Chains A and B, each alone.
Chain A
Amino acid sequence: MSAPRASTDNSAGAKRDPRGIGWLLLTPLLGWLGLFVVLPTAILFVYSFCQRDELGQVVFSFTWSNYARIFDPVYLGIFGRSLWYAGLTTALCLAIGYPVAYFIGRSPPSRRSTLLLLVMIPFWISFLLRTYAWISLLKGEGLISSLLQGMRLLTGPLDILYTPTAVIIGLVYTYLPFMILPIFTSAEKLDNSMIEAALDLGATPVRAFTQVILPLTKPGIFAGVLLVFVPSIGMFAVTDLMGGARVPMIGNVIQNQFGQARDWPFGAALGITFLALFAITFWFLHDRGEVRR
């Protein structure tokens, strides 16, 4: 009886040690997080309760007014629109990205890396360059416009650039890989026999998809949704460049506070609110999306 007890003690001891080393190994990451995530967020949090002086410098006197200002219908409306744009972007990325990711995940391993590479290649090119490429594609005298007119599918020049449609195109283009990659990971892990079992048990391909494949790739879908939804709410470059800055999103408003308006406390309040929204979204999705394995 004593022998097994001794071995249990040993294993517990053996477990304790690696945990200590584990923390040690995590130190650089924790340090990085503390220095570049926690600390700036704390500063932002403090600023959000401060005021600005005539020169736009932050003055440390407590006020709720920055948060009160967010509830001004002007900014609330922009929050609402940002959510809507980000939601639409996420939905489109999911609709376009899921089949692609699934296809790549289910293709033979030898071809998989090539296909993944194709998804990643755009990242090798600067974001601004790619955005300007889109501008020259979409502009009234651009390639797509001339092509459509040449094919007599369009009578006038294409009027997409500097519209919300262009913003959505830009957002979907920018964030599509962030949807594809996590779903790919889920699809790749999906055991083929799960799909065969579903078919074997009488599920048509459609029902096998909805009843088995979809639930089993849910972790990838949720990760993808988070990775696309959250940054697309805050995106300002695409809105400026492809949307002609006509319809501001919350990212543009925040950017403006730290730039032209020189109202850091209000920008900080917007940022903190945005962060809180993100945390709530994450918590909500995580709670629901957890696959109980």
Chain B
Amino acid sequence: MQTHPDTQLEWEFRHAPPPAPPAGAPVLGETMVQLRGVTKRFGSVTAVDAVDLTIRKGEFLTLLGPSGCGKTTLLRLLAGFETPTSGEILIEGHDVSDIPPYRRDVNQVFQSYAIFPHLTVEENIAFGLKMRHVPVAERRERVEEALALVSLAGLGLRRPHELSGGQRQRVALARALVCRPKVLLLDEPLSALDAKLRHAMQLELKHLQRQLGITFVFVTHDQEEALIMSDRIAVIHRGRIDQLGTATEIYHAPASAFTADFIGEANLLDAAVLANNGVTAQLQLGEGAEVSVRSSAVRPGATRALVSVRPEKIYITRTKPAKENTFRGVIEEEIFRGAMDELRIRVAGGLQLMAIAANESAHEHAWHKGDTVFCAIHTDDIVVVEQK
């Protein structure tokens, strides 16, 4: 069978019934995991609510959401630590809902790493191979490979307590990867690291995933991390998938107020629909702040719309620019954020906006409290997330 790098085909596979596992190399874009109406209840609490999700072979999918949203339960369902109350989970087309974790070709990197303290680094990594009765010689070889892969070569005889946090994290990763899982589950694996190390590890993980071609399902509550690493992000909210898409899709076109608010920063504004002529629609964000958007963004007959505007999309100038959707405001507060200045702008009618402007020369100190400025927003940057 040929490999299909074509994304068009990817789409087709997604919507076609699950294909038979291929005989040869994995095909990027084939379905690896499929969740069908998966629900998990703990007593009266519904942690996961009728989730449908298809995870493609070789992709880096992130489950993103605030704590308690159900993302971890979803991961545990995939690992087999929980069984669904209803619905089914398919891995390569086989229903695994009732298969215990130790018989699933899925491995997990735990948030606490869960490195066995009584075993050496080497023994930790070899654990999964030993459990699967891999011959000793092969075991040794694969452990060495795994150590090299995570840049821990030569540390095999160390004890876990002799390692730094980052090193332990790598051991946990090597221990899971050495088993060559079909899917690698990562439960907030970077949350215990300091900011700098975390950023380095984000890129490293991403590269590792590309290099190995293993399907990663990554759980995090850190939206920035999700944006950096993921091929696709599933935003989870109250046990449901709020939005599924690439990082840019989710950032630029949030499908809900929740997603807009959770990912990055957003001005969520309750706007009145003033007119809709079929080409453009007029929205009033507040008194003195009227904007027009594409007519298609607003449902015919809608009178109110909740719109999201990213702060960095608000274009701030001192003189009135020759641009659409421009209105005047006064800087109420200026917050220095290093590379950026965060501005709180009050528009005449009372509307308050947050904008982020590039920090100009420190000597001039461009923005001051009380300055009158003009705000301009591009039509496409006004995203309607809810309407009625």
Contacts and interface: CB of A to CB of B under 8 A. Distances in A.
Interface string A282-293: 000000000111
Interface stretch (B113-121, B139-147, B217-225, B362-370): B113-121
Nearest to B110: A193
Interface string A197-208: 111111111011
| Interface size class of chain B, counting residues whose CB lies under 8 Å from the partner chain | 20 to 34
B47 to A, nearest CB: 17
Nearest to B79: A200
A19 B387 CA distance: 67
A159 interface: no
Contacts of B79: 196, 200
A211 B176 CA distance: 17
A158 interface: no
Contact of B131 (A194, A196, A201): A201
Contact of B114 (A196, A204, A211, A292): A196
A34 to B, nearest CB: 35
A56 interface: no
A141 interface: no
B131 A203 contact: yes
Interface residues of A, number: 23
Contacts of B169: none
A204 B110 CA distance: 19
B112 A201 contact: no
A190 to B, nearest CB: 11
A216 interface: yes
Contacts of A291: 117-118
Given A196-B81, A215-B118, A291-B118, A201 B110 contact: no
Interface string B105-132: 0111011101011100000000110011
B161 A293 contact: yes
Given A196-B101, A207-B131, A293-B161, A201 B117 contact: no
Interface string B166-207: 000000000110010000000000000000000000000000
A101 B79 CA distance: 28
A207 B130 CA distance: 11
Contacts of A193: 110-112, 114
B102 A292 contact: no
B117 A199 contact: no
Interface in A191-228: 191, 193-194, 196-205, 207-208, 211-212, 215-216, 218
Contacts of B110: 193, 196-197
A42 to B, nearest CB: 39
- Among A200, A204, A211, chain B packs the most CB atoms within 10 A around the CB of A200
A284 to B, nearest CB: 19
B118 A200 contact: no
B139 to A, nearest CB: 13
A36 B117 CA distance: 39
B73 to A, nearest CB: 14
A288 B118 CA distance: 13
Contacts of A200: 79-81, 101-102, 106-108, 176
A218 to B, nearest CB: 8
Interface of A: 191, 193-194, 196-205, 207-208, 211-212, 215-216, 218, 291-293
Given A196-B81, A203-B102, 4 more contacts: A196-B114, A198-B116, A203-B131, A292-B118
5 pairs of A and B residues whose beta carbons are closest in the complex: A201-B128, A202-B131, A197-B114, A193-B114, A199-B101
28 contacts: A194-B116, A196-B114, A197-B114, A198-B116, A198-B127, A199-B100, A199-B101, A199-B102, A200-B79, A200-B106, A200-B107, A201-B102, A201-B128, A201-B131, A201-B179, A202-B103, A202-B131, A203-B102, A203-B131, A204-B102, A204-B131, A207-B131, A211-B127, A212-B116, A216-B118, A292-B159, A293-B117, A293-B161
